[in-house]
Chains A and B, each alone.
Chain A
Amino acid sequence: MSTLPERLEASCIPRIRNGADVLGADLQPNEAFLLFRVDGRATIAQLATLAGIEEEEARELIARLASVGLLEVELASGERPREAPPSPLPTEPEGPTPLSRIVEEVGGAYDPGELYEDVQIPIPRRKQILDAFYTFEKLDHYEVLGIDDSADKKAVKSAYFALSKTFHTDTLYGKELGTYKQKMDVVFKRITQAYNVLSKPAMREEYDAYLRSVKGTRAARAAIDAALGIGGPQAPPISATPKPAPAKPSPPPVRPAAPPPAAAPPSSEEARRRARELYARKLSSTRNAPTRPPPSGAPSMPPAQAPTPPPPRDASQVARDLQRALVSVSQHTGGVSQARRLAQDAKRAEEKGDLVTAANAFRLAKELEPDDREVDAGLQRVSAALRVQMLPEFEKQAAYEERNGDHAAAAISWQRVAAGKPDDPISHGAAARCLRRSGGELKLQQQLARRASELAPNDVELRVLLGQIYLEAEMPLNARRELDAAAKLDPNDETVKKLLAELKQKLR
């Protein structure tokens, strides 16, 4: 079946051929540049304008892309090939498949501007880097190294050393790396972090306990954070005024590349699972055989040596299943009555003492019906109870995170603890301290530290902390009050003396 008309008119509309192996194709940058602008709607003339090239050049490139079977070109008259190709995606039954969808289907949405950046790195290597860069944040240490959680020391070392060779920039010394340099550095840092923990028995044991705790409390955290408004590491902390989103720099679009926090509790279980499977697949294909898994087929089947065995059906699993079921039902039945039904389910669970399920059901109900007073009250009530129930776990998590220098995560965990123990100076103080270390909002630091100090007025360290925060916020009078109080409590404290000296200079 020829898909190339006799003559390529400027008004012809090219589109991606169904099933074309776009990502496996051997493309020149200019071809890729044009190819990724093909959406099945734009004509060749329009594509030329979009890509900023001459029409003639666009025509030649399209002809080549068509000749290697990547594109088919619709006739200028607008008549379609009689047999419309069966669309691979039922959600978009009409029209040709936009490339972005295909890319996503093949696994891992590559931004073409990024994938085809003008750098001296082979395309398969770029994909490895991008895959890792965008998925690692959601993975735990084992998943990052692509190993089983029973892997022995040798296996850990071997996995890390092999990955080092892919992600260390020295292996591409002297090459133009563009934005890949920073990405490789971030990924390398992440695998190194995973290795440093897993290669040392004591640290690994601690981490395993932490991971179990995080996994076991995932559902509970989601509910509690929804009630408190502290979401995840990305969500704004309590009472924080939302920051304006950073302006996106102009093309190519750059996703924020913040270094991933240590084993950050992932934002959504589903995203996490997808990331894990995707990465495991990539890892196994790059390690064992250079062939990619077929784009279609069972898309979410993990490879044979999948890194995670099916987890036991714990509370989080239950909640997840429930959530999935409820969401899909709600899509069919429409919101309002569904919210009622959820609230009822929640109450039943609450009566049975299953606080996790209850809290999550309330949370989902609230998402559907944000203004329902009863739902909100239920969520607050249940999550408050849950908060208390989960306290020991959260405390463990907070302590681990702080010990490992992950201050951003620790600040959130300590806030969870503080919320469960409103009269506890230690957790409030720790939350303030961690927030300070992670560069969190000064105002929130202040609130937490002040509360802590109110609860334990004779604690010198808390006074000093508050004093430091005031000093940093350029509120010298408040700082002085706290530091004077601290000096009264312990006249020999060197730190207090230093701070007061600095303050005097400032006030002068």
Chain B
Amino acid sequence: MEKVIGIDLGTTNSCVAIVEGGTPTVIPNRGGYKTTPSMVAITEAGKRLVGHIAKRQAVTNAENTVYAAKRLIGRKWNTTQVRSALATCPYRIVEGPHDDVRIQLRDKLYSVSEISAMVLQEMKIIAEDYLGHEVRKAVVTVPAYFNDGQRQATKDAGAIAGLDVIRIINEPTAAALAYGFGRNLDRTVAVYDLGGGTFDISILEIGSHGVFKVISTAGDTFLGGEDFDSRIIDWLVKGFQQEHGIDLRQDRMALQRLKDAAEKAKCELSAVRETEINLPFIISSSRNEALHLQRMLSRDELERLCNDLIERTIKICESTLEDSGVSKDDIEDVILVGGMTRVPKVQHMVAGFFGREPCKGVHPDEVVALGAAIQGSALLDEQQEMVLLDVTPHTLGIMVVGGFFEPLIPQNTTVPTSSSKTFTTVRDNQTAVKILVLQGESQRAEQNELLGEFILTDLRRAAKGQVEIDVTFEINADGIVSVQAKDLETGRQQSITVTASSGLTQDEITSMIDEAKTHAVDRRATEAFEGTRQEAEKLMGDIERLFPQVEQIVSGSDFGRDAIEKARGVLDRARSLIERKDVEGLKEQLEALGRTQRMFKGVIAKTG
């Protein structure tokens, strides 16, 4: 059976897992870490860095280091979320060609899907290194509250990374899957997932037949650890402004250092009651003297700064429970997911709300990837008796006259699902009908998310009211929407043109796939080259060190002068091979280098 990996593509950290011999396991990266920062950078030399290495150089290369790209994926340019990212991110966010978002790194523009693809590709390589063979198939997770555009963009990212994304599943659902896997449970659970960028709450029923059914889900795709960090940064910036009259936000490097320090302090305060934030030489004053930032932050202060954020998550929990028709007493276990659930106040408020202590058994950083891997193997392995029944988080509908939103599929409907509606022509010989498809909970169409304009074209020419088109709106198990139309009288499939969608075009995706491929090859080639280069450089170092001595000894004879010339040629050739990154040539050259080195050593030994 073909292997399928599960990838938790997180805002802050990503994680990859696989089911091996029936056991789900997280795959560590080369550094031995089970999660990899979702960070991407382009160095001055144009080199692409992903993961820990990108994080390590972020302070010195803030403008060209992307973090939290997930907060931008699938979003339109003209949204408050993008505005807010523009104000706080040290990297450059610019408007794309489809009312979408692009990120500028060095002199190139990247779509957000491309950035996420780099992270996915990294996770793919981590799995491949571990397994020792290529991996093509993956299940990728998204926040449950992601809309169609965000899901589609994540799927695109998978394609660009050279992955066949066989399923997109929701993060809290994946967590529940890992929680219930192989335990033969029969209970109702709540999953509270507060990560770096998003918040999700899901209520699920787990049945003894291996069926996992989501009853309801809700969330906020712009609420997570990043917002807690921002509150701390604001607090620091404000304090600094008061003290020195300088706005630290004006300096990208200072901003990046503040961000690191804020996150570090937040994490520390989960364990201790007070911590010091210390950033020497953060900026220089107008009189060119170095200024330092040094402040104490207490847990109480942090809780005061962020209390409303936690309150917001609790409010969402409350309304979800209400929608689901499940009472608090029916919840038999509460599962905490995401790094932010390590914050004591979060744990405390969640426990208070549900009236029970959350379950301790799951690892908040790994459980989502494990669930994704489990779902992948359940799909491909016929022996696995497990079914996941998820829901659509948003109401799907169309715009009707007056700019109103007419719901067709309500939120929390189990997927796959579909709804049909008949459209008729209202004018004689009308040949096209335009349908605006939207997602959201507002009665006003313009306040909901536009998924696309579907135009039924080439309609039969007939008197008005004579042509009836049956349009089916479908949401598949990925939570992705598709639309099909059929002429009721002729039974003919009706062609549909989609416009005004903010996603990438097929052409764009194709060219991005090609580019990502060359990078994968490039990356592997680089690794092989690095090894050979190190070996070659070691030999070259030896030769160069001995060179003056040997030259002195042998230059008396023609034979000696000849040998010295040859040795010089060997070194030059090796240098130019290194410059051209010619691995094959360099490998061959190793032999000549080795011979020269031995010869030099021999000369010295004989005379010395």
Contacts and interface: CB of A to CB of B under 8 A. Distances in A.
Nearest to A471: B401
A439 B422 contact: yes
B389 interface: yes
B401 A165 contact: no
A185 B413 CA distance: 13
Nearest to A192: B414
A293 B207 CA distance: 30
Contacts of A196: 414
A171 B490 CA distance: 34
Contacts of A488: none
B351 interface: no
B211 A169 contact: no
Contacts of B410: 405
B107 interface: no
Contact of A495 (B211, B325, B387, B402): B402
Given A165-B209, A439-B422, A185 B416 contact: yes
Interface in A167-201: 168-171, 173-174, 185, 188-189, 192, 196, 200
Given A405-B410, A495-B402, A164 B379 contact: no
A405 B421 CA distance: 13
B465 interface: yes
A247 B489 contact: yes
A434 to B, nearest CB: 13
A304 interface: no
A157 interface: yes
Given A246-B489, A247-B490, A468-B400, A165 B380 contact: no
Contacts of B387: 164-165, 168, 170-171
B403 A498 contact: yes
Contacts of A157: 205, 207
Contact of B464 (A168, A202, A243, A474): A474
A471 B465 CA distance: 14
Given A171-B387, A189-B417, A162 B402 contact: no
B477 interface: yes
A189 B477 CA distance: 13
B209 A162 contact: yes
A247 B419 CA distance: 22
A169 B205 CA distance: 20
A188 B418 CA distance: 11
Contacts of A56: none
Nearest to B379: A173
Nearest to B416: A185
A244 B489 contact: yes
Interface string A93-137: 000000000000000000000000000000000000000000000
Contact of B420 (A162, A168, A259, A502): A259
Nearest to B410: A405
Nearest to A496: B402
Contacts of A474: 426-427, 464
A268 interface: no
- For B380, B423, B426, which residue has the most chain A Cβ atoms within 10 angstroms? B426
Contacts of A246: 488-489, 491
Contacts of B378: 170
Contacts of B385: 165
A324 interface: no
B401 A472 contact: yes
A143 to B, nearest CB: 20
A202 B380 contact: no
A174 B167 CA distance: 12
Nearest to B426: A474
B427 A164 contact: no
B570 to A, nearest CB: 56
A499 interface: yes
Contacts of B155: none
A473 B426 contact: yes
B426 A472 contact: yes
A3 B325 CA distance: 64
Given A170-B388, A468-B402, A473-B426, A189 B211 contact: no
Given A203-B325, A473-B426, A161 B207 contact: yes
Contacts of B208: 158, 161
Interface in B376-421: 378-380, 385, 387-389, 400-404, 406, 410, 414, 416-421
Given A168-B389, A203-B325, A189 B421 contact: no
Contacts of A189: 414, 417-418
Contacts of B491: 246-249
A465 B204 CA distance: 39
Contact of B421 (A171, A439, A471, A499): A439
Nearest to B488: A246
A157 B209 CA distance: 10
Interface in B2-36: none
Contacts of B422: 439
B380 A173 contact: yes
A437 interface: yes
A199 to B, nearest CB: 8
A442 interface: yes
B523 to A, nearest CB: 31
B259 interface: no
A258 B388 CA distance: 25
Contacts of B403: 498, 502
Interface in B151-205: 205
Contact of A258 (B420, B426, B465, B468): B420
Contacts of B209: 158, 161-162, 164-165
A378 B385 CA distance: 61
Nearest to B418: A185
28 contacts: A161-B209, A169-B477, A170-B378, A171-B387, A173-B380, A189-B417, A189-B418, A192-B389, A200-B325, A202-B325, A203-B325, A243-B468, A247-B489, A247-B490, A247-B491, A248-B491, A249-B491, A259-B419, A437-B406, A439-B423, A442-B424, A442-B426, A468-B402, A472-B426, A495-B402, A495-B404, A498-B402, A502-B402
Given A157-B207, A192-B389, A247-B489, 12 more contacts: A168-B389, A169-B477, A173-B379, A173-B380, A185-B417, A185-B418, A246-B488, A247-B490, A258-B420, A468-B402, A473-B426, A474-B427
